[in-house]
Structure 1
């Protein structure tokens, strides 16, 4: 049950990171959130894997939610998240863990597996296949100028856009926009927040109470770090050459996830080209699944994750 999730702060590389944990035992599962998510996005999955006998852990990434902000966020890149995850495993004396990443959380999950294969039992990602940060990660130039990532990568633009609203409204807007099957793209005379229609209800599986939790955590951290990592560092080369992930992996994709419409994305997944980097990869499509499939279709996603963990747990 949710109320059994324990919370603590762990000092990792000079920063106190917020860690939520439930369950015990030698087999650990570490969940990595995306944006606009936070540790709480994994509430259903944490309980399910703990009930199956695993130790479930999730963090707020540095600069997010209840975790501390680095002194100079503008210097950080994805590799900082990778080092944090490995340092956290060291601190908690976890030799090997499953990593489960959603949205941009898929990047550090796979980067840890590529750089430290001995520490990873398996990788599960939701919505985002194996990719590395770098100039070719997302082909912004193939999308209109109002593509939300291009807008948010422009210094000061998202800050001004978000700053017109309270944090809860910003999270609500992004959550609803990202639940659709269309890529959020603004017209030239619009900002991303202008795409939102206040009459739109929250998506299934996400209540006003859930929104309150998300909002309270982002009220603490603000958006400075999230705009830096992932968005403004997505094109920064992470220094990994000739990447191979030998770890067993699972990719869960909602057919209605807007990310599938990114240029080249669906081909990369459906043709199996992604297996050039992750040879031991299972790919599962969920027909009605949105970008937030793990909150929307909880039982289905939990079953897929548990089957994968049980198959590869040693």
Structure 2
């Protein structure tokens, strides 16, 4: 499958400079793109190499202009390139059928063109919108509501009362609405605290593989519009993740914490419970967050500190043995001087 450059430019909302009839057969990285390939130059180092590139077409920023090359100009070349990938690799068509090997509960209501694969389980009083695709091995509990254009990949578990919006993707092995981690100690043993709430996932969310999102103790755990999570993310009971925030692999968020909008939490960062993380906060990898963070801050380290301070601390750490030796030498010299008087 291929497209003319004019078709690609129109599909991604870019401005074409070059041959509109140039036929593009594939997408490639900048370094390996050939005569009938399209690529993108997101960095200045790649832009500088465009005259020597063999690529048939290159997506660039609106500022770039190079004579004799086929260019598609876009405000953000990386986003435009993502749209080209979607154009060349669309989701397969929905079969529009329910497998006879699927288990469907009572009072199941659904919209147009849904697909439920073999060995999937759908509980009682479940509602689907249009164009919902459920892969093999999926478990959907009772009283679950799912919007339109949702993809649920194999071996996902969606527990009772979960609410899922439209255009949501849930990747392999994720568990949504599992029981929260709550136990009351009496000095001898732990007594289980039932979690009777639910999980709400808003529109345009993508959940990575093997995530665990616990339901609320009371009320809800809430993943708001546009949130993206990587693989192996843990979100505890009654957590709220604000709109268009990103949680990278192995992030863990303890119960009842709130993440603001457009936040980025890097890999293996941990956030303690009952904290408030502001809007547009960036948390560095492996950071340990033990206090509230105001909006707009960039923090790193464990315990967390401003990122610039963390950089200074990390430059000093390898020198600590040497600094300790110098301090010991100075201490010995000072003691010798004092002993003379």
TM-score bucket of the superposed structures, by smaller chain: under 0.3
Q: Which has the higher contact order (CA 8 A, sep 6+)?
A: 1
Q: Which is greater in Rg?
A: 2
Relative to total residues, which structure has the larger helix share, 1 or 2? 1
Say which structure is richer in strand.
Answer: 2
Q: TM-score normalised to the size of structure 1?
A: 0.20
TM-score, scaled to structure 2:
0.19
